[in-house]
Amino acid sequence: MPINPTPEEARSSLEAAAQAQAGLRQSTSPPRLQLALASAGAGIVVASRGIPDPLAWLRWVIIAIVVIALLALILANPSKRAVKRGLKHEARDLRYSVAALIAPVVFVMGVLVALELIASSAAQGAPWWAFGIGGLAVAAVFYPLGRWNWRILGKPRDPEV
């Protein structure tokens, strides 16, 4: 017997479908704070390379602060849920957190490494084809890492249901 939903039923079905996707995004998207911290951390580390030699220790302080903050975020995030869900789920949550954290870092670092390679190669008068080889080398390293992250997180697709 064919199903003939009423407009109200159709509307509630659409809402349920949208909520299912929203719930997935909420559980798999990298937390904004982590993403912001990771990006800022990568930026600070790179920027700190311009610090003059007498203040070189400052670079390590900045790196230490960023690393400690990121580790604290990784460890704090799953432990709240772990109490409710049990230890079995903690591993999955931890994996999600690590993947959520690594994804933006991998992306930012990949871009920075590529830019730095291009800048240094250009400064040394590298031929044009060297940029292509450099780009491929960077992609060969960072693409699998990115895929690994998205595989765990669930790669986002069409934003519309």
Partner 1 sequence: MAAPKFNDQIHSPVRLRICSTLAAVDAIDFTALRAGLDVTDSVLSKHLARLEAVGFVSITKKTAPGHLRTWVSLTPVGRQVLAGHLAALREIAAQSGM
Nearer to partner 1, 3 or 123 (CB): 3
Structure tokens at 124: 């040394």
Nearer to partner 1, 8 or 53 (CB): 8
Q: How far is the CB of 153 from partner 1 (least distance, A)?
A: 8
Which amino acid, 149? N
Q: How far is the CB of 90 from partner 1 (least distance, A)?
A: 13
CA 121 from centroid of its chain's CA atoms: 28
Structure tokens at 18: 């949208």
Residues 91-130 interacting with partner 1 (rule: CB under 8 A): 92
Ordered alpha helix ranges (H), 2-127: 7-28, 32-47, 56-85, 87-123
In the shown chain, the binding pattern of residues 72 to 91 toward partner 1, with x for contact by CB under 8 A and - for none, equals: -----------------x--
- Burial of residue 1 (CB within 10 Å: 0-12, 13-18, 19+) is exposed
Q: How far is the CB of 105 from partner 1 (least distance, A)?
A: 21
Rounded CA-CA distance 38/108 in Å is 9
- Applying CB under 8 A, among 50, 52, 124, 158 the residue interacting with partner 1 is 158
The answer to whether the CB of 66 falls within 8 A of the CB of 37 is yes
Q: Does 54 bind partner 1 (CB under 8 A)?
A: no
Nearer to partner 1, 131 or 148 (CB): 148
Nearer to partner 1, 89 or 137 (CB): 89
Place of tokens 């079995």: 88
Structure tokens at 121: 């190669």
Q: How far is the CB of 83 from partner 1 (least distance, A)?
A: 16
Q: Which residues bind partner 1 (CB under 8 A)?
A: 2-3, 5-8, 10-11, 13-14, 16-21, 23-25, 27-28, 89, 92, 150-151, 154-158, 161
